[in-house]
Structure 1
Amino acid sequence: MITLTISSASKPPSFARGLPLSLECAEDSTVADVKALITARFPKFHVSRQRLNLKGERGSLNDEKTIGEVFGADAKVRELQVKDLGPQISWRTVFLVEYAGPLVIHPLIYHLPRLWYGQDVQHSALQKYVYAFVLLHFVKRELETIFVHRFSHGTMPLLNIFKNSAHYHLLSGLALAYDVYRPKFSATSPYIVNTIRNDQNFLRLCAGLWAFAELSNLHTHLTLRALRPANTRTRGIPFGYGFTYLSSPNYFFETVAWVVICVMTGSVAAWVFTVVAAVQMALWALKKHKNYKREFGKAYPRGRRAILPFIL
């Protein structure tokens, strides 16, 4: 058994005034085990609220690391600092709430046009296609959240759910639905009548491209799931469809799907949402690409880009 000192990285929360404290644990105990011991001393200090790091260092410790790996055999001082991350909520819950917004908002605006526009709207084929695309996209995202995705981090700060949800509820929900289902895009509008936006061949081509992008996105998510055993943070190098050229082909295919809707409609709201989403996904992809290269070194394929083949 070894003795660990646990101090506070900042002002300790009211329910953990007993910090610093000493804990007895085995050398093969994990960081997750140490968090559980802290919770045993302070029951309100749930493990999801804790971030442990070496004293004087900012990087958080991986829950799966053992104390022996953290300090080494010759360490004379074994001290960890704990930081309270505040109230947490599971990532799975956050995703479900985010994607539920458009699934509620789009039907309300599509089926109740008089409430929003003060008149009935005879929906065009274009509007019907977009309505189906949006609902299918977010139903797919909900099902993936429940059955496919495995999260490396179990929780996030509770307040972030409002920021994250605003992106989907306001941009791809309220703004997109209000813009695309309005009379301008209706079956009798000059913007639609006798234009390519009312051409069935054009709409079917767009539907085919959209379905290709969505199914490709699903395929990459299934590939990533297969790399990570349940209840672990194990990471591996993904190969196969989409990953030959990109570290994050899932983001690339999702962007393609939304660009299809933008081209179909010419909607300003659709373009705003797509650009904002694409920029955010590009930032995530670049960060993931950098992490892959740092973690796997020379084993990681050199020719890959982050999100755009041969470019970015």
Structure 2
Amino acid sequence: MVSVTISAASKPPPFARGLPVTLECDANATVEDLKALIAAKFPKFYVSRQKISLKTDRSSLSDEKKIVDVLGKQGGELQVKDLGPQISWRTVFLIEYGGPLVIHPLVYHLPKLWYGQEVQHSSLQKFVYALVLLHFIKRELETIFVHRFSHGTMPFRNVFKNSAHYHILSGLALAYDVYRPKFSVTSTYITGTIRNNENFLWICTAIWAFAELSNLHTHLTLRSLRPANTRVRAVPYGYGFSHISCPNYFFETIAWAVICAMTGSVAAGVFTVVATAQMALWAVKKHKQYKKEFGKEYPRGRYAMFPFIL
């Protein structure tokens, strides 16, 4: 058995005023097992609210880490921090992607409410409406049936920040801009231009479909590398991974770039730039994690997100 003293990293929450407390752990107990013991002692301090760290290092200890490897056989002191109310990543994703699925139909089908007049939708607007809805329906289905998350929850307050990106930029801003009279069937911006050419719209749709299906293929590859209910990571290979670590982000950027090319919409451009910048940051981080975790096993010459560029 290993004796572990648990103290509060900051002011303890009201339901854990009994801290510090000393707990006895099995020699093979992990940080996750220790969290379960804390939750048994303080039931409202459930596992996902806890962050366990060393007293001398505030970095979070991974749940798989063995207590004996952290403190030694003699035991010692660890700190716990309350992360606040939590919400599952799956629920957050459903809320994020659900916003545009509600907002776009409201703007598209109720133009008088938004623009003070009826809008006779052009072929361009009809195509964009269908592509945007299909994109977010795909994301919802992937969230339910495909994605396996390395972390089960996040702080509840983050749902508002995360959702704002989709609800405002790809939701309200994009819908309001693209479905307005400027893009209608009688607009000079559309009439007699390539944006009113059916061949152009179908070519764009074909490129968009290629990018979306490639993105889905990448997600299925990543899913196959992680058994259910685990946090196992493995080196991804196959379609899309020959030159980059995060082809899912690369293909999503292509899909949104197509929407920009079809419409020339400022809102579409802003969303695509912001989304691409954020995905690039995530890609660089994941790329570094892959190289650190797998070392020489990780293929040399891969870039993070854009082949031969980044």
What secondary structure is seen at the aligned counterpart in 1 of 2:190? coil
| Inter-partner Cα distance in structure 1 for 2:134 and 2:273 | 21
Once the two structures are TM-superposed, the CA of residue 63 in structure 1 deviates from its matched residue by 1.0
Once the two structures are TM-superposed, the CA of residue 24 in structure 1 deviates from its matched residue by 0.8
Superposition TM-score, scaled by structure 1 size = 0.98
Residue equivalent to 2:204: 206
AA of the residue aligned to 1:12: P
Residue equivalent to 1:235: 233
What secondary structure is seen at the aligned counterpart in 2 of 1:34? helix
| Inter-partner Cα distance in structure 2 for 1:72 and 1:253 | 47
Once the two structures are TM-superposed, the CA of residue 118 in structure 1 deviates from its matched residue by 1.1
| Inter-partner Cα distance in structure 2 for 1:236 and 1:69 | 24
Residue equivalent to 2:100: 102
| Inter-partner Cα distance in structure 1 for 2:128 and 2:273 | 18
| Inter-partner Cα distance in structure 2 for 1:54 and 1:244 | 39
Note the aligned Cα RMSD (angstroms): 0.9
| Inter-partner Cα distance in structure 2 for 1:158 and 1:151 | 16
| Inter-partner Cα distance in structure 2 for 1:215 and 1:71 | 48
Residue equivalent to 2:154: 156
Instruction: Extract unaligned runs of 5+ from structure 2.
Output: none
What secondary structure is seen at the aligned counterpart in 2 of 1:23? strand
AA of the residue aligned to 1:33: D
AA of the residue aligned to 1:245: H
Moved over 2 A (4+): 68-73
- The 5 Å alignment of 1:1-312 reads 1-73=1-73, 76-312=74-310
Once the two structures are TM-superposed, the CA of residue 278 in structure 1 deviates from its matched residue by 0.5
Contact 2:68 2:75 (C-alpha < 8 Å) held by counterparts: no
Once the two structures are TM-superposed, the CA of residue 78 in structure 1 deviates from its matched residue by 2.1
| Inter-partner Cα distance in structure 2 for 1:52 and 1:276 | 34
Once the two structures are TM-superposed, the CA of residue 72 in structure 1 deviates from its matched residue by 4.0
| Inter-partner Cα distance in structure 2 for 1:168 and 1:243 | 27
Q: Which moved more, 1:281-290 or 1:1-10?
A: 1-10
Contact 2:5 2:21 (C-alpha < 8 Å) held by counterparts: yes
| Inter-partner Cα distance in structure 1 for 2:57 and 2:3 | 20
| Inter-partner Cα distance in structure 1 for 2:90 and 2:138 | 14
| Inter-partner Cα distance in structure 2 for 1:28 and 1:77 | 12
Describe the superposition over 1:70-103 as per-residue Cα deviations: whole angstroms up to 9, x where unpaired. 3345xx4422111111111111110000000000
| Inter-partner Cα distance in structure 1 for 2:61 and 2:216 | 31
What secondary structure is seen at the aligned counterpart in 1 of 2:15? helix
| Inter-partner Cα distance in structure 2 for 1:15 and 1:270 | 47
| Inter-partner Cα distance in structure 2 for 1:42 and 1:255 | 46
AA of the residue aligned to 2:241: F
Superposition TM-score, scaled by structure 2 size = 0.98
Once the two structures are TM-superposed, the CA of residue 17 in structure 1 deviates from its matched residue by 1.0
What secondary structure is seen at the aligned counterpart in 1 of 2:177? helix
Once the two structures are TM-superposed, the CA of residue 69 in structure 1 deviates from its matched residue by 2.9
